Amino acid sequence: MTRDHILLTPGPLTTSLQTKLAMLRDWGSWDDDFIAVTARVRKSLINIVHGEISHVVVPLQGSGTFSVEAAVTTLVPASGHILVLDNGAYCKRAAKLATLMGRRCTLMPFADHEAVSPSALREKLVADSSITHVVLIHCETGAGVLNPLQAVADVCAEFDKGLIVDAMSSFAAIEIDARKTRFDALIAASGKCLEGVPGMGFVFIRKEILSGCAGQSQSLAMDLHDQYIYMEKTGQWRFTPPTHVVVALAEAISQFEAEGGQPARLARYVANYNTLVNGMQSIGFKPFLDPTVQAPIIVTFHAPAHSNYEFRHFYEAAKARGFILYPGKLTEVETFRVGCIGAIGAIEMEQAVHAVALALQDLGIPSGTPAPVASA
């Protein structure tokens, strides 16, 4: 194989050649040139959410989960009570890390094939005034559901509750406008829809609450308030930054802006999604979600109802043809996932569908048709 595998995952993603080439130079973390790159990245990020007036952005080393944990421990006081709106695996992860950080946490369960309910949230906040913060996963990539950020934010604003948004798989693709949507923190990462490489997260924090976050974190490395204060004072990161990741992100953002920003990025991903779903349905596969709640980020498909199907073998057959798929995250239904994001377009999605069709042939499976759903 002469090209890299295409990563049809929710991250890491396939990156452009320009982004890869940006990592071929070494940088000094205290050097003025690198400080300027960090400042440029931060300015570009805040512009994407139109948060120049209302928010600051704080970058942090590590994967996106590091930044989710940092946001919880920095924004939520020890006496706080977090309500996690739970319709998938990443919601449960947020609840787990909140509990490990010593914060009181309640899960509010929803079905994994449905969006969370703003009206149910309102009822919960009426019933339990001890809740101080709500955590929402904007795009729950366990199944691919797009949750209603604006409606949830409106309810939180109505009750004056802090809203922490995990926008890991939606930021820069799905519109998020801080001028219209009130949130205390919004978290994303370098290796998602900005099409950089993994290794850096970032958190947008509402300026009105920033000073109140001082001293709340019990972690040295994950104290976003300290990270912000130090970065504002010196332009530098408190601890060794992921220099190559930062400069790769700066290059990826330049490409994002040249493409047309968030609307253009979303349009390409929607085209990828349509090409994928239409192609997969033509060979028998059925998406798990109803289109009304499906984000154009990653699609969960039912596994074929054939005795020869085993995900690992299916995965290896697709990989042999240049495409990396993703296992399912659901526990009650056998599924697999295919991402629509990254530096790819409709041509790559057509090739992916062809690779899946050939993988089925390799395994002696006539089509991707799933087992019929049992009637109630």
By DSSP bridging, strand 162-166 and strand 133-137 are parallel
Q: Where in the chain is the domain with CATH 3.90.1150.10?
A: 6-10+260-363
Q: How far apart are CA 112 and CA 159, in angstroms?
A: 26
Instruction: Supply the pLDDT for residue 11.
Output: 85
- Tell me the two tokens of residue 339: 């991402």
Instruction: Supply the pLDDT for residue 163.
Output: 98
Q: How many Cα neighbours within 13 Å face the side chain of 38? A: 29
Q: How many Cα neighbours within 13 Å face the side chain of 360? A: 18
Instruction: Supply the pLDDT for residue 376.
Output: 39
Instruction: Supply the pLDDT for residue 371.
Output: 81
Q: How far apart are CA 179 and CA 50, in angstroms?
A: 7
Instruction: Supply the pLDDT for residue 373.
Output: 66
Q: What CATH topology corresponds to 6-10+260-363? A: Aspartate Aminotransferase, domain 1 (3.90.1150)
Q: Give 10-residue mean pLDDT values along the chain (376 residues).
A: 82 96 96 98 98 98 97 98 97 96 97 97 98 98 96 98 98 98 98 98 98 96 98 97 98 98 98 98 98 98 96 97 93 92 98 98 97 61
Please say whether the beta carbons of 82 and 132 come within 8 A.
yes
| 3-class secondary structure per residue, the chain | CCCCCEECCCCCCCCCHHHHHHHHCCCCCCCHHHHHHHHHHHHHHHHHCCCCCCEEEEEEECCHHHHHHHHHHHHCCCCCEEEEEECCHHHHHHHHHHHHCCCEEEEEECCCCCCCCHHHHHHHHHHCCCCCEEEEECEECCCCEECCHHHHHHHHHHCCCEEEEECCCCCCCCCCCCCCCCCCEEEEECCCCCCCCCCEEEEEEEHHHHHHHCCCCCCCCCCHHHHHHHHHHHCCCCCCCCHHHHHHHHHHHHHHHHHCHHHHHHHHHHHHHHHHHHHHHHCCCCECCCHHHECCCEEEEECCCCCCCCHHHHHHHHHCCCEECEECCCCCCCEEEEECCCCCCHHHHHHHHHHHHHHHHHHCCCCCCCCCCCCC
Instruction: Supply the pLDDT for residue 375.
Output: 45
Instruction: Supply the pLDDT for residue 17.
Output: 97
Tell me the chain's radius of gyration from C-alpha atoms: 21
The domain 19-258 is classified under which CATH number: 3.30.300.210, 3.40.640.10, 3.40.50.720, 3.40.30.10? 3.40.640.10
Look at the block and give the residue holding tokens 């006496």: 79
Instruction: Supply the pLDDT for residue 374.
Output: 54
- Tell me the two tokens of residue 123: 């009822």
Residue 177 CA, chain-centre distance (Å), reads: 17
Q: Where in the chain is the domain with CATH 3.40.640.10?
A: 19-258
Please say whether the beta carbons of 301 and 277 come within 8 A.
no
Look at the block and give the residue holding tokens 């802090």: 162
Instruction: Supply the pLDDT for residue 372.
Output: 82
